């Protein structure tokens, strides 16, 4: 590493206690090997001391994946969010670690109430008591970036106010600087890590984090969900009060009910858990396949059940968006999964990845058929959805293809939904719940409205083609008439033939030149052209000697090639 880069790293690390805290936590959870692989022990004396004292006895009887999750939780908000980002990447994270990352607990002790009131006052430019008629001091929830308090507007409306933690971005900026420096070290000293591009991953994470702490993005997402579900008889989306919302404060309608994490703890015995599981599944599938815009973090803390059984969604900071083309392909993935249809699954994966190479297509088809063959005789309740989808992701990765981000987020969301359903109603299998929706969705796809819409779209395309046809035909005729029409062909598979022809032509030219030298030398000797040596022309002698040496060398090369081929056989 250059001295300049090393200096930047040393300045980044040693100017903050935060780096020392991070190293201490990593060593305590048994990750000394990562520190030594990045050669940090050679750069910092305090790391060598810590390793010598505590670095040889990682916690016993605890899986390494669980230790990673526990370390991320103790490292704080930035690393919890990093773990949540990595949980969206089944293409680079092993399944066992992926399951642990989905269990990350984004719950931290609340900050003192006066700091929350100060934040509100700064955001609105007047005292907190003038903004809200009443603000509860005890928070409803406390997470890494913000905490939520119940409040009352001057109009009397009960609301939930999400307030960003004081100086949270300053803290996260320090962590991001350290992460960026560590990512460069990882890429340099751990070459196998370059597959998932640590530096680019940290850059992407930084951009996403900046977006998440700007509550205006979440406000926009909630508005879109309201437009998607105008019928509130099945689902509740909190209303946003934009006059009481800023970049760091988000004021929403207060929705009474039971969060699913409370239901899972048995604190809401009257909730029909099976009915809730069915409703949540239906609503999530509608978001993905009907609207192409979905809540991408459906864990128990972000979903609630009202007294009337309606499902309410909370925290819209992380959402997924699909283009119509992606939705069609992912529909085929789901249909192929439900029906255990290897042909449809293969075709869907091929379309998603855009694999055009014939060998790649055949390899993907073979791998998918092998996977489906293992599941075809199983009952629906015996199929592990998370394992099945991870295997499909690995099919793409093993062929050296890039997994599209749409498929990654779709897979992660379905896996979260799978775990949620199994926790709420263990007797239900997610794929069994997917099947009625798939059947209904396919009927709609071939229904009158769908056919009418597709026919109109095709009609517009045909009308545009008919409009442009005369002009395009006239331009083509003009090009032919003036001799300016050019056609380019590219024929595949000619490289081996071209290489063989080049080799033959080189040998032919070499043989002709050698023959010319021999004939010329013979003519010179026969004519007795001076200078002479013992009565023999010198040029003739040199010509024959040169031709002889070259011929012997060429024969030697041919013999070596022949023996190599013989040895290989």
Question: How far apart are alpha carbons 91 and 281 in whole angstroms?
Answer: 25
**Residue 534, both tokens:** 């013992």
Distances in whole angstroms, Cα of residue 337 to Cα of each of 98, 422, 437: 21, 18, 13
- b/e sequence 41-79, b meaning 16+ C-beta within 10 Å: bebbeebbebbeeebeebeeeeeebbbbbbbbbebbbbb
Which residue in this structure is represented by tokens 């933690």?
165
Question: How far apart are alpha carbons 20 and 111 in whole angstroms?
Answer: 24
Catalytic residue status for 170: no
Cβ-count burial of 146 within 10 angstroms (0-12 exposed, 13-18 middle, 19+ buried)? buried
Q: Of 507, 565, 515, 503, give the one whose Cα is nearest residue 544.
A: 515
CA atoms within 13 A on the CB side of 64: 8
H-type alpha helices, 482-537: 495-527
The phi and psi torsions of 453 (rounded to 5 degrees) equal -65, -45
CB 310, CB 261: distance < 8 Å: no
CB 91, CB 59: distance < 8 Å: no
Distances in whole angstroms, Cα of residue 148 to Cα of each of 17, 113, 138: 30, 11, 9
Close Cβ partners of 285 (under 8 Å, ≥ 6 residues apart): 434, 437, 441
Instruction: Tell me which of 297, 315, 326, 386 is the catalytic residue.
Output: 297
Question: How far apart are alpha carbons 391 and 395 in whole angstroms?
Answer: 6
**Residue 199, both tokens:** 């530096």
CB 109, CB 426: distance < 8 Å: no
Question: How far apart are alpha carbons 296 and 288 in whole angstroms?
Answer: 10
Query: What SS3 class is residue 134?
Result: strand
Catalytic (active-site) positions: 297
């Amino acid at each position: 590493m250059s001295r300049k880069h090393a200096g930047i790293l040393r300045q980044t690390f040693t100017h903050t206690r935060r780096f020392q805290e991070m190293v201490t936590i990593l060593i305590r959870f048994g990750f000394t090997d990562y520190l030594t692989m990045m050669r940090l022990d050679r750069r910092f004396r305090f790391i060598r001391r810590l390793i010598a004292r505590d670095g040889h006895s990682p916690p016993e009887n605890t899986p390494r994946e669980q230790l990673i999750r526990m370390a991320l939780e103790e490292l704080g908000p930035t690393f919890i969010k990093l773990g949540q980002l990595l949980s969206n990447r089944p293409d680079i994270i092993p399944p066992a670690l992926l399951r642990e990352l989905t269990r990350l607990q984004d719950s931290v002790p609340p900050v003192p109430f006066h700091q929350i009131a100060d934040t509100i006052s700064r955001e609105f430019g007047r005292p907190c008591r003038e903004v809200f008629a009443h603000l509860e001091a005890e928070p409803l929830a406390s997470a890494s970036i913000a905490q939520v308090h119940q409040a009352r507007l001057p109009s009397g409306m009960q609301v939930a106010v999400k307030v960003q933690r004081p100086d949270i971005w300053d803290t996260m900026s320090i962590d991001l600087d350290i992460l960026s420096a560590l990512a460069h070290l990882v890429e340099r000293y751990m070459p196998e890590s370059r597959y998932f591009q640590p530096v680019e991953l940290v850059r992407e994470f930084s951009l996403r984090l900046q977006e998440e702490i700007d509550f205006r993005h979440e406000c926009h997402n909630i508005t879109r969900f309201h437009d998607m579900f105008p019928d509130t008889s099945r689902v509740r989306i909190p209303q946003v009060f934009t006059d009481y919302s800023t970049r760091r404060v988000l004021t929403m309608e207060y929705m009474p009910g039971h969060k699913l994490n409370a239901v899972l703890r048995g604190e809401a015995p009257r909730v029909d858990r099976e009915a809730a599981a069915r409703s949540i599944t239906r609503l999530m599938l509608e978001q993905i396949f009907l609207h192409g815009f979905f809540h991408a973090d459906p864990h128990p803390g972000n979903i609630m059940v009202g007294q009337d059984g309606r499902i309410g969604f909370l925290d819209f900071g992380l959402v997924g968006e699909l283009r119509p083309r992606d939705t069609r392909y992912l529909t085929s993935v789901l249909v192929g999964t439900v029906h255990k249809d290897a042909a449809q699954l293969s075709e869907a994966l091929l379309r998603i990845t855009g694999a055009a190479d014939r060998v790649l297509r055949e390899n993907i088809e073979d791998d998918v058929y092998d996977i489906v063959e293992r599941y075809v005789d199983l009952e629906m309740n015996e199929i592990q959805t998370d394992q099945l989808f991870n295997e499909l992701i690995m099919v793409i990765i093993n062929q050296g293809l890039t997994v599209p981000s749409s498929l990654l987020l779709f897979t992660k969301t379905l896996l979260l939904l799978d775990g949620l359903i199994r926790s709420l109603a263990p007797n239900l299998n997610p794929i069994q719940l997917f099947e009625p929706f798939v059947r209904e969705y396919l009927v709609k796809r071939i229904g009158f409205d769908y056919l009418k819409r597709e026919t109109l779209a095709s009609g517009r395309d045909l009308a545009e083609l008919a409009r442009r046809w005369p002009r395009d035909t006239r331009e083509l005729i003009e090009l032919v008439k003036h001799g300016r029409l050019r056609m380019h062909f590219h024929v595949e598979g000619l490289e081996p033939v071209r290489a063989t022809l080049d080799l033959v032509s080189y040998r032919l030219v070499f043989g002709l030149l050698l023959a010319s030298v021999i004939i010329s030398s013979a003519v010179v000797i026969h004519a007795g052209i001076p200078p002479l040596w013992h009565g023999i022309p010198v040029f003739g002698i040199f010509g024959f000697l040169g031709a002889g040496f070259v011929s012997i060398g060429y024969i030697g090369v041919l013999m070596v090639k022949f023996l190599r081929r013989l040895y290989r056989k």
